[in-house]
Amino acid sequence: MYHLFCFLLLMSMTCCLGASADSSRTVNLVKNGISRYRIVIPRNPSPAVSYAAEELQRFVEECTGARLPVTAEERFAFAPSVLIGPCRKSRKAGLLEQAAALPEDGVIIRSLGRDFALLGQNERGNLYSIYVFLERYLGVRFLAWDQMHVPKRTDLSLPRINFSYAPPFMYRETLYYDSFPKEIAARQRLNGPTTKCDESVGGKIDFFPYVHSFNDLIPEKEYFEQHPEYFGLQGGRRVAGKVHAQICLSNPDVLSIATKTVLKWIVEHPEVPIIDVSQNDGTGACECDSCVAIVNEEGSQHGPILRFVNAIADEVAKKYPDKWIETLAYAYSTAPPRITKPRNNVIIRLCHAGCFFHGFERCDLGSQHALWLEGWSKLTNRIFVWYYGTNFRHYLGPNPNLDGLARDIKYYGDHRVNGVMVQCNYQGHGGELAELRQYLCAQLLWDPTQDPMKIREDFCRGYYGEAWAVVMEFLAKMDEFARGDAHVFAVWEPQDIMSPEFVAEALTLLETAYSLSDTPAIRNRIEKLMLPYWYLYLRYPTKYGLTKEEAGAYLKPVKRVIEANAIEFVCEGGEPNAQQWLAQIEAEYGVLDEGVLYSLLSEKPVETVNCDDWRLNSVEREGRHVATILHHPPAEGDGTATFELRLPPNEKTALTFATVIAAPTVDGVRFSILVDEKEVWSETKTLFLPLKTADEKTGHEGILPTQDPFADHRVDLSDYAGQTIRLTFCVNALSNSDYDWANWVRPQIVLTNR
């Protein structure tokens, strides 16, 4: 990463250093499916150069049928060649020096007589030169993890080429789960720390820790009890933690400890070029007199942060001049200070704020963000951006932000930003428009001067087959909707924004696209486009004018698409995950099994009393998610939920259910069932379904189970045949309600035989 330092100091230089095919004269690389060319690599190639040769060989063959042999440069010296990396002929032509002078990840493609030289500023650049060559001159498109477009031809003629380029963003990351594998990350020229890019593809730009590192620098478990003064003062008391709690940045002991920790991290992670020193998540700035005085002097909450970070950066520069310190400008600290400037080895990561639909430049919702970016740009040439690109509450919901997203990336490219990370569904497969949004971002992060509509068209032609034009029409409809008066950012309720008329029009277009799809793969991709709108119908049937039966008709296709595409999450964090949500939706909409009179999962109680929580939930049992009602008891007394149900005459019936506590309860829960206010069944349970991790703050683990924490039960109701009964579910916390996540599992009334 030696050139990282030079790159950021020289970012005011232009990035595009020439791009031309300077003559109409052409060279036949392949003619009638046959080629005289070979791929030439140095005698001792780096892993990235060897990988680049394999990739070029693969795609030229897939495109033309001609397999170019890969040879070391000493062999067959007189054969026409495609030279990859630091070959002697490229060195003699002065290309190595020209490549080294490019900013980070720059590429050169140059005609040398009948030969072609492909190389880069670094190892990634050597590989990227292959992908740029394939895209620019062969028409290859690396659309998604599951789709590439490789045009077929028997002849491949190339003009004389004199092309060099370096992206304005030296750090490029799309935080989508399916962008992490090294194959697609390298092909789309993504180089962030979440990718799995190793030495074979030129490595990546790594950070340690990723962000929010104050609690790692001054761990509360290690220091809070003896030194509460190390932690931020809030409302007159010291507060520690990972969220909504910060450290006291004016305390000299805190600075000393943090500096030693950063220096230790550098020793422990010598391969990492960027060390993060940034605030914890949320708010909680220190309110002590010293910190407040700095804030007042600087006119910004970032004043104490930047002075603290600069002091650490000074010590790092003395011992490790090639290392960088990154810090966030985030939440309460986004505005730049008016006095202190970042040191030359400090990177500011500005967290994006602005309207998804319109882009921050064109919308009052983001007006301050433009001012903050302008302010930081006056202080430093070293700015990364953390961009939010999805609805974190509803990964599967519609999010018409493609136009605003493109506008914002282009704005950053024009305003001295050095790197951008676009955060989307990083937890698992799927997410609304995941593949298109990832491709659009990757293309614009590499070259923000591109036409976003041309990028869309390339994607749709290659990804949706014969349906591509209708999908483009659907995307245009999304753009039109986004140009309205609604403004959204990061976390929002789609039912408040997405009109029934728009949802109906979107589905009509997508149904037309589906009818044009001629393969199972394309039909599945069109159904993935439909999924967000089916999701709305199931989540908010009343809003969209559907009866329960009409909404329930979408359950089967939603389940099919989620399972076929291994979609794991419906929102950030994972509660509920996709399988849990499906279990809940199936319980709410699913057809009753034969012999089931009532599923209480889909019935509404006529009365709830003292319930800390009563809602549809799900838990995992024997490897599958089953629907439950989460029924949290109050701290004192009973929590009850009552149903009024008519039982059929002359029939024998029973209430069937299971009970489980889905957290590490302290002393258990008493469950009971009442019919017409008379208790007919009870159980005190202390076994529980263990959480994946104990509570991080308290370390509480509760009473560990020694057997299956589920218990199946049956309450005979035959004596109430022909009557309307009041059926009451009751829970009691006993002496302690902590972690009493009591669940009634699939409670239903069934026909029975005694």
Question: Are β-strands 233-234 and 237-238 bridged in parallel, bridged antiparallel, or unpaired?
Answer: antiparallel
Task: Give CA–CA dist 141/732, Å, rounded.
Answer: 61
The answer, yes or no, to whether residue 550 has pLDDT greater than 70, is yes
Q: What is the DSSP letter of 569?
A: B
Q: Which domains does the chain have, with CATH numbers?
A: 17-165 (3.30.379.10), 205-324 (no CATH), 592-751 (2.60.120.200)
CA 101, chain centre distance (Å) = 34
Question: Are β-strands 107-112 and 162-165 bridged in parallel, bridged antiparallel, or unpaired?
Answer: antiparallel
Question: Are β-strands 70-72 and 38-41 bridged in parallel, bridged antiparallel, or unpaired?
Answer: parallel
The answer to whether 659 and 742 are in contact (CB under 8 A) is: yes
pLDDT tens digits, one per residue of 81-103: 999 999 999 999 999 999 999 99
Determine the residue type at 33.
G
The answer to whether 429 and 566 are in contact (CB under 8 A) is: yes
Q: Binning pLDDT at 50, 70 and 90, where does residue 687 land? A: confident
Task: Give CA–CA dist 51/55, Å, rounded.
Answer: 6
| pLDDT given for residue 698 in this prediction | 34
The answer to whether 577 and 568 are in contact (CB under 8 A) is: yes
Nearest partner of 302 among 370, 350, 363, judged by Cα: 350
Task: Give CA–CA dist 632/10, Å, rounded.
Answer: 59
φ, ψ of residue 547 to 5 degrees: the values are -75, 165
Instruction: Bin 416: left if φ > 0, else alpha if -120 < ψ < 50, else beta.
Output: left
Q: Binning pLDDT at 50, 70 and 90, where does residue 22 land? A: very low
| pLDDT given for residue 4 in this prediction | 52
The answer, yes or no, to whether residue 10 has pLDDT greater than 80, is no
Q: Which of 325-329, 527-531, 642-646, 694-698 has the lowest mean pLDDT?
A: 694-698
Q: Tokens 């492909």 belong to which residue?
A: 118
| pLDDT given for residue 615 in this prediction | 87
| pLDDT given for residue 672 in this prediction | 97
- Average pLDDT for 55-79: 91
| pLDDT given for residue 2 in this prediction | 43
Nearest partner of 669 among 716, 628, 645, 702, judged by Cα: 702
Establish how many alpha carbons lie within 13 A of residue 184's alpha carbon, considering only the half-sphere containing its beta carbon: 21
Task: Give CA–CA dist 299/312, Å, rounded.
Answer: 22
Q: Binning pLDDT at 50, 70 and 90, where does residue 439 land? A: very high
The answer, yes or no, to whether residue 8 has pLDDT greater than 90, is no
| pLDDT given for residue 315 in this prediction | 98
The answer, yes or no, to whether residue 9 has pLDDT greater than 80, is no
The answer, yes or no, to whether residue 19 has pLDDT greater than 50, is no
Selected residue with higher pLDDT from 104 and 700: 104
| pLDDT given for residue 617 in this prediction | 87
Question: Are β-strands 346-351 and 383-388 bridged in parallel, bridged antiparallel, or unpaired?
Answer: parallel
φ, ψ of residue 356 to 5 degrees: the values are -60, -40
Angle, alpha carbons 745-746-749 (nearest 5°): 130
Task: Give CA–CA dist 509/474, Å, rounded.
Answer: 6
CA distances to 593, 596, 605, 652, 714 from 721, rounded to whole Å, are 20, 15, 20, 7, 16
The answer to whether 558 and 535 are in contact (CB under 8 A) is: yes
CA distances to 318, 400, 406, 411, 655 from 451, rounded to whole Å, are 44, 18, 9, 13, 62
Please name the residues in contact with 256: beta carbons below 8 A apart, sequence gap of 6 or more: none
Find residue 626's DSSP bridge partners: 619
Determine the residue type at 527.
E
Task: Give CA–CA dist 578/558, Å, rounded.
Answer: 11
| pLDDT given for residue 357 in this prediction | 87
| pLDDT given for residue 731 in this prediction | 97
Q: What is the DSSP letter of 739?
A: T
pLDDT tens digits, one per residue of 371-416: 999 999 999 999 999 999 999 999 999 999 999 999 999 999 999 8
pLDDT tens digits, one per residue of 335-360: 999 999 999 999 999 999 888 888 88
Instruction: Bin 393: left if φ > 0, else alpha if -120 < ψ < 50, else beta.
Output: alpha
The answer, yes or no, to whether residue 223 has pLDDT greater than 80, is yes
| pLDDT given for residue 365 in this prediction | 66
Q: What number of other Cβ atoms are within 10 A of residue 404's Cβ?
A: 25
Task: Give CA–CA dist 312/264, Å, rounded.
Answer: 12
Write a three-state SS string for 414-462.
Answer: HCCCCEEEEECCCCCCCCCCHHHHHHHHHHHHHCCCCCHHHHHHHHHHH
| pLDDT given for residue 714 in this prediction | 95
| pLDDT given for residue 695 in this prediction | 38
The answer, yes or no, to whether residue 692 has pLDDT greater than 80, is no
Q: Binning pLDDT at 50, 70 and 90, where does residue 76 land? A: low
The mean predicted confidence, pLDDT, of the chain is 91
Instruction: Bin 114: left if φ > 0, else alpha if -120 < ψ < 50, else beta.
Output: alpha
Question: Are β-strands 669-675 and 678-685 bridged in parallel, bridged antiparallel, or unpaired?
Answer: antiparallel
Q: Is 168 exposed, middle or buried (0-12, 13-18, 19+ CB in 10 A)?
A: buried
**Coil vs helix vs strand at 127:** helix
- Average pLDDT for 699-704: 39
Q: Tokens 């970032």 belong to which residue?
A: 302
The token duo for 291 is 């910190």
| pLDDT given for residue 229 in this prediction | 98
Alpha-carbon dihedral angle through residues 721, 727, 733, 735, given to the nearest 10 degrees: -70
Q: What is the DSSP letter of 332?
A: G
Q: Binning pLDDT at 50, 70 and 90, where does residue 24 land? A: low
The answer, yes or no, to whether residue 250 has pLDDT greater than 80, is yes
The token duo for 400 is 């018409």
Nearest partner of 742 among 672, 662, 677, 664, judged by Cα: 662
| pLDDT given for residue 697 in this prediction | 34
**Coil vs helix vs strand at 111:** strand
Task: Give CA–CA dist 659/672, Å, rounded.
Answer: 10
**Coil vs helix vs strand at 606:** coil
The token duo for 228 is 């509460």
Q: Which of 237-246, 449-458, 703-712 has the lowest mean pLDDT?
A: 703-712
φ, ψ of residue 5 to 5 degrees: the values are -65, -50
Task: Give CA–CA dist 102/110, Å, rounded.
Answer: 15
- Average pLDDT for 557-573: 93
Q: Binning pLDDT at 50, 70 and 90, where does residue 363 land? A: confident
Alpha-carbon dihedral angle through residues 606, 608, 613, 618, given to the nearest 10 degrees: -40
The answer to whether 355 and 363 are in contact (CB under 8 A) is: yes
Length of the chain: 754
Please name the residues in contact with 309: beta carbons below 8 A apart, sequence gap of 6 or more: 277, 325, 327, 342, 346
The token duo for 201 is 């593809």
Instruction: Bin 490: left if φ > 0, else alpha if -120 < ψ < 50, else beta.
Output: left
Q: What is the DSSP letter of 93?
A: T
pLDDT tens digits, one per residue of 154-213: 999 999 999 999 999 999 999 999 999 999 999 999 999 999 999 999 999 999 999 999
